C-alpha cells in the first residue's frame, strides 16, 4: 500500500468518527465540559508526520534494513502523545494512538489490508521493555481517565520503570496483563480481530444505509455485544452492564437513540463509551484505506468506490 494512502486513511477515520452523532461521545453536536470536537479536529492533523515515519519504519523492516525489534512502537506512541498535547490541552486520542501506531506499521509490512493485524502483532511480540516505558511516558503526558492506581506496574508509581525493567515487560506482555481492563490491549493480543470485524460490518451496513447511520449502528452493536472497558474502569461493572442493556434496547426499538444519549450523559462523561469509539475510529481508517470515498445522495453521505 502506498505510504501516503495509509497516513491519509488513519487521519480521516478518526475525524469522521468524532463527527458522528454517537450517543454518549463528543460529536459534532455535543461536547463534554473538558473536551470538545475542536480538540479532536486540532489533534489528529498534528500526527501526520509521525504516522508517515511509522509507515517508513514498517517499510524498512519489510526490506530488511531494520529488524522487527527496531520498530520503536513505544517511542512513536510517546511522540504522538507529545504532538497531540502541543496543539491542544485535552486527551482526545490516546486510545486511537495506541491502536493505530502498531497497525500502521503492520500494514506497511504487507501489501494486503487483511494482514495488517497479524503483522502488528508480530511487531508487538518483538517489542522491548523500552517500548513499554515509552508507552508509560505517553500515558503520563495525556493522562487518560480511568487508569487504575495501586495495581502491579502502576503507571504513576515511582517504581514503575524499575519494575518493568526487572520483569522484562514488553508491550505484548503488558497487553496480556491489561487486556481484562482495556479492549485496546485485547486487540493487540488478538491481531485486531474486533477492529477488522467492525471494518467488515461497516462496509456491509453501508451498502444499505448512509455512512453515518451505518457507523452509529455499528457503535450500538459493539456496545450491546461487548460493553465498554472505559465505562467499566470509571463507573464499575454494574454500570457497564446497564449500558449494554440499554444499547440492546435501542437496537430492538425499545429505546430511542436520543433517550440513550441522555442516559449516557446523566453523569457527565462517566458513561462515555470511549473504548468503543476508539475501535470505530480505527475501523473507519481501514474503511477509507480499502478504496472507498463519499458521495452525496438525497442530502446524505454514502460510501462509494473511488475511481
* pLDDT score of 88 more than 80: yes
Q: List b or e across 74-106, with b for residues whose CB sees 16 or more CB atoms inside 10 angstroms.
A: bbbbbbbbebbbeebebbbbbbbbbbbbbbbbb
pLDDT of residue 246: 98
Report the number of secondary-structure helices (H) and strands (E) in the chain.
Answer: 16, 2
Residue with the bigger pLDDT between 148 and 70: it is 70
pLDDT of residue 208: 97
Pairing relationship of beta strands 300-305 and 292-297 according to DSSP bridges:
antiparallel
What does the mean pLDDT of the chain come to? Answer: 97
Place of cell 464499575: 236
pLDDT of residue 148: 86
- What's the CATH code of the domain at 300? 1.10.4200.10
pLDDT of residue 206: 97
pLDDT of residue 306: 86
Pick the closest to residue 84 from 13, 16, 7, 143 (CA basis). 143
**Interval 107-118 mean pLDDT:** 97
Kindly report the CA angle at 173 between 274 and 178, in degrees rounded to 5?
A: 30
**Interval 249-271 mean pLDDT:** 97
Give the three cell numbers for residue 114. 487483511
pLDDT of residue 38: 98
Percent of the chain whose predicted confidence (pLDDT) is above 90: 96
pTM of the model: 0.97
How many structural domains comprise the chain?
A: 1
* pLDDT score of 151 more than 90: no
* pLDDT score of 113 more than 90: yes
Q: By CB neighbour count within 10 A (0-12 exposed, 13-18 middle, 19+ buried), where does 17 fall?
A: buried
Q: From CA 202, how far away is CA 206, in angstroms rounded?
A: 6
Q: Going along 121-247, which residue ranges are E strands?
A: none
Q: From CA 208, how far away is CA 239, in angstroms rounded?
A: 33
Domain that holds residue 83: 3-305
* pLDDT score of 1 more than 80: no
pLDDT in tens, 175-222: 999 999 999 999 999 999 999 999 999 999 999 999 999 999 999 999
* pLDDT score of 159 more than 90: yes
* 48 band by pLDDT with thresholds 50, 70 and 90: very high
pLDDT of residue 5: 97
Amino acid at each position: 500500500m502506498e505510504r501516503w494512502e495509509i497516513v491519509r486513511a488513519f487521519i480521516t477515520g478518526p475525524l469522521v468518527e468524532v463527527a458522528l452523532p454517537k450517543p454518549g461521545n463528543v460529536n459534532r453536536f455535543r461536547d463534554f465540559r473538558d473536551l470538545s470536537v475542536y480538540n479532536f479536529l486540532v489533534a489528529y492533523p498534528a500526527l501526520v508526520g509521525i504516522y508517515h515515519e511509522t509507515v517508513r519504519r514498517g517499510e524498512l523492516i519489510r526490506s530488511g534494513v531494520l529488524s522487527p525489534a527496531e520498530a520503536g512502537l513505544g517511542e512513536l506512541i510517546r511522540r504522538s502523545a507529545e504532538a497531540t498535547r502541543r496543539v491542544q490541552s485535552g486527551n482526545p486520542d490516546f486510545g486511537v494512538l495506541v491502536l493505530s501506531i502498531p497497525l500502521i506499521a503492520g500494514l506497511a509490512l504487507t501489501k494486503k489490508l487483511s494482514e495488517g493485524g497479524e503483522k502488528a502483532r508480530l511487531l508487538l511480540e518483538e517489542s522491548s521493555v523500552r517500548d513499554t516505558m515509552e508507552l508509560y511516558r505517553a500515558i503520563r503526558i495525556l493522562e487518560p481517565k480511568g487508569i487504575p492506581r495501586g495495581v502491579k506496574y502502576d503507571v504513576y508509581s515511582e517504581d514503575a520503570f524499575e519494575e518493568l525493567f526487572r520483569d522484562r515487560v514488553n508491550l505484548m506482555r503488558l497487553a496480556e496483563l491489561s487486556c481484562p481492563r482495556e479492549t485496546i490491549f485485547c486487540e493487540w493480543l488478538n491481531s485486531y480481530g474486533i477492529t477488522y470485524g467492525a471494518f467488515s460490518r461497516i462496509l456491509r451496513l453501508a451498502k444499505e444505509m448512509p455512512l453515518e447511520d451505518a457507523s452509529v449502528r455499528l457503535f450500538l452493536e459493539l456496545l450491546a455485544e461487548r460493553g465498554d472497558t472505559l465505562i467499566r474502569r470509571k463507573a464499575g461493572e454494574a454500570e457497564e452492564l446497564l449500558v449494554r442493556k440499554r444499547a440492546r434496547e435501542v437496537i430492538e426499538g425499545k429505546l430511542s437513540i436520543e433517550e440513550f444519549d441522555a442516559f449516557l450523559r446523566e453523569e457527565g462523561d462517566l458513561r462515555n463509551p470511549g473504548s468503543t469509539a476508539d475501535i470505530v475510529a480505527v475501523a473507519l481508517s481501514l474503511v477509507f484505506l480499502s478504496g472507498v470515498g463519499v458521495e452525496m445522495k438525497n442530502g446524505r453521505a454514502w460510501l462509494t468506490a473511488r475511481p
